[in-house]
């Protein structure tokens, strides 16, 4: 807001009264609401007001009303540590209890020690004579700590010790630690060196955990088969030669009315179907016969025998009209299922298309 220096004869206008007088006085209002109503259209930065409901002085910043900081609102003086007296009105007196006052070491006349250095004495019970023992002492802290654990006169203990054995090191003497009887006697009772042994410790450790007898291990003597060839024995459940000599082991009789061919159960086998009812043999994506593998099937029962494809392809001399289904001829007829590629098969024999 402006300031104007009036001279004799100047006209005092309404604008001058508003800007130079009204807006630059401390206006009194019942509360903030009354103030805002009265000054809504004439607000100007720098206005002051007094609110009766809160006894607060405020000024307008140009954007909002703010309390006047530090308005001098001390209402009482309270005595703190080492003080007494105080009050909430009139002249106030504070009394100091000197016995409760802590004086910093730096304020004690002629004292050069710091508070931290003086605190080192906290808890010390030695008298001056005992402390003076340290006067002139030259051992370091490390050297003084060698006294830790000493229980009697050091010189008396030194005088009772064995003199140093010449020519024997501490390490060599340490080798005797734990010896309970004559060393030579113990050496004489030990096993002589294993003469002729060429195996290394690592090679000898291979035997760790072996439970086989010498006879069991001798079975490997002269073995020429490779690891790969030995692994072909994995899964063998009976004598191999016996299985070779008994071809009937590959002959299966099936009296059910349905069977899905699988490599694990049927590859290289002859299956004789004996049901008197219609029987369906299925070849699908899980059959997984190896290329070149085959399965022989015989319609030995009175029921019709059908070979059906599901997720695989079967082709034969006859043309199937139902996505690869074929019948085996009359009772006692036979056919071969041959794998020619992954999930692709040929049906060879006495067959008809379905």
Question: In the chain, which segments carry CATH 3.40.1620.70?
Answer: 14-67
pLDDT digit string, tens, across residues 137-152: 888 889 888 888 899 9
- Which letter, b or e, does each residue of 230-258 get, where b requires 16 or more Cβ atoms within 10 Å of its Cβ? eeeeeeeeeeeeeeeeeeeeeebebeeee
As a whole number of angstroms, the distance between CA 206 and CA 307 comes to 56
pTM above 0.75, yes or no: no
pLDDT at 61: 94
pLDDT at 223: 82
Residues 6+ apart with CB under 8 A from 289: 261, 263, 267, 295, 337, 339, 345
Q: Which residue has the tokens 């490997």?
A: 220
Mean pLDDT is highest, among 64-78, 233-247, 248-262, for: 248-262
Q: To which residue do tokens 């955990």 refer?
A: 209
pLDDT tens column, 64-96: 999 987 655 677 888 888 888 888 777 888 898
Q: Is the pLDDT of residue 134 over 60?
A: yes
List Cβ neighbours of 126 (8 Å cut-off, separation of 6 or more). Answer: none
pLDDT of residue 91: 80
Residue 313 pLDDT more than 90?
Answer: yes
Q: Which ranges in the chain are annotated with CATH 2.60.120?
A: 245-353
DSSP-H helix ranges across the chain? 14-16, 32-38, 115-119, 128-131, 141-144, 154-159, 170-174, 183-188, 201-204, 214-218, 227-231, 240-245, 263-266
Q: Does domain 14-67 fall into CATH 3.10.310.10?
A: no
Give the residue-averaged pLDDT of 85-109.
Answer: 78
Domain 245-353 has CATH 2.60.120: yes
């Amino acid at each position: 807001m402006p300031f104007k220096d009036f001279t004799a004869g100047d006209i005092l206008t309404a604008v001058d009264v508003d800007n130079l007088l009204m807006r630059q006085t401390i206006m009194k209002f019942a509360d903030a609401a009354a103030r805002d109503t009265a000054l809504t259209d004439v607000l100007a930065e720098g206005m002051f007001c007094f609110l009766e409901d809160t006894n607060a002085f405020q000024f307008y910043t140009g954007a909002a009303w703010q309390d006047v900081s530090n308005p001098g609102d001390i209402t009482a003086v309270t005595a703190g540590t080492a003080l007494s007296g105080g009050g909430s009105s009139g002249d106030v007196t504070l009394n100091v209890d000197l016995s409760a006052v802590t004086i910093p070491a730096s304020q004690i006349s002629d004292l050069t020690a710091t508070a931290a250095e003086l605190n080192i004495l906290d808890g010390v019970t030695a008298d001056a004579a005992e402390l003076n023992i340290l006067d002139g002492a030259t051992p370091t802290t490390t050297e003084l700590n060698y006294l830790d654990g000493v229980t009697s006169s050091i010189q008396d203990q030194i005088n009772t010790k064995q003199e140093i054995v010449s020519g024997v090191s501490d390490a060599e003497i340490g080798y005797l630690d734990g010896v309970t009887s004559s060393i030579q006697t113990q050496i004489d009772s030990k096993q002589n060196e294993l003469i002729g042994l060429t195996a290394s410790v690592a090679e000898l450790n291979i035997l760790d955990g072996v439970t086989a007898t010498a006879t069991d291990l001798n079975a490997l003597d002269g073995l020429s088969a490779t690891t790969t060839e030995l692994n072909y024995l994995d899964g063998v459940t009976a004598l191999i030669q016996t299985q070779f000599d008994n071809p009937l082991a590959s002959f299966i009789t099936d009296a059910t009315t349905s069977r899905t061919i699988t490599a694990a159960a049927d590859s290289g086998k002859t299956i004789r179907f004996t049901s008197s009812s219609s029987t369906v043999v299925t070849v699908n994506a899980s059959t997984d016969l190896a290329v070149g593998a085959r399965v022989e099937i015989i319609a030995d029962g009175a029921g019709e025998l059908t070979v059906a494809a599901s997720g695989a392809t079967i082709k034969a001399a006859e043309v199937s009209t139902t996505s690869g289904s074929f019948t085996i001829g009359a009772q006692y007829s036979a056919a071969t299922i041959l794998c020619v590629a992954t999930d692709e098969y040929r049906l060879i024999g006495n067959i008809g298309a379905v």
